[in-house]
Amino acid sequence: MALNYKYHWISEQDYLEGERISTIRHEYIDGDVYAMAGASKNHDRIAGNIFRKFGEHLENTPCEPFSSDMKVKCGKNYFYPDVIVVCEDKTEDEYYTESPIIIVEVLSRSTRRTDQSFKRLAYQNLPSLQEYVLIEQDFVDVEICRRDRHWQSEHYYLGDEVYFAAIDLRLPVEVIYARVVNDDMREWIARRNEESNKNE
């Protein structure tokens, strides 16, 4: 989701109260409020695939995934990640959490710089966070930064399997990109179909 435009400075409490009745989601950064722009189909496909697979895997466990309607509080800032996983939420407020163990952001041209820099640093300051996941939508690239590896980037591509260690889940990259339409996926599907035809 792109940050669309901002309002003048407001207090944290006013932001939280206004957000509960607003029909538009806003992120709160250093006292400024930014409206969230709409997402592309590919963006929603990737976020939906991740959310669905996380949900299936975490059934009957203390952990649960949340979609982009749940805020994450980082200090005095509030963000709407695309997918998060929370296991022990001590936050009393029903509209945000401060204790995700996984945060997933689907990148776009308009959000890439913020997600890879400002938000990355903010998220990594959350004591609970174990894995920060950035997923490109215009081409295939899944990046995971893990606390136990000092937040060093690991990249996964088509044919690879991504291991989400925080919840002990393995997902092939092609499952994460199911139904996504971009050049990498077109080539992957064409090559797979060609190999299938040869084996018939």
Q: Is 5 helix (H, G, I), strand (E, B) or coil?
A: strand
Q: Would you say 106 and 95 are in contact if contact means Cβ atoms under 8 Å apart?
A: no
User: Do the domain assignments include residue 18?
Assistant: no
30 in any annotated domain? no
44-83 exposure pattern, b = at least 16 Cβ within 10 A, e = fewer: bbbbebbbebbeebbeeeebebbbbebbbbbeebbbbbbb
Average pLDDT over the chain reads: 92
Residue 1 has pLDDT above 80, yes or no: no
For residue 142, the cross-strand partners are 135, 156
pTM, to two decimals: 0.91
Average pLDDT over residues 136-161: 97
d(CA 166, CA 102): 7
Q: Which domain holds residue 94?
A: 39-199
59-86 confidence digits (pLDDT tens): 999 999 999 999 999 999 999 999 999 9
pLDDT in tens, 92-142: 899 999 999 999 999 988 778 888 889 999 999 999 999 999 999 999 999
Which helix (DSSP H) or strand (DSSP E) does residue 72 occupy? strand 71-74
Q: What is the CATH number of the domain that holds 157?
A: 3.90.1570.10
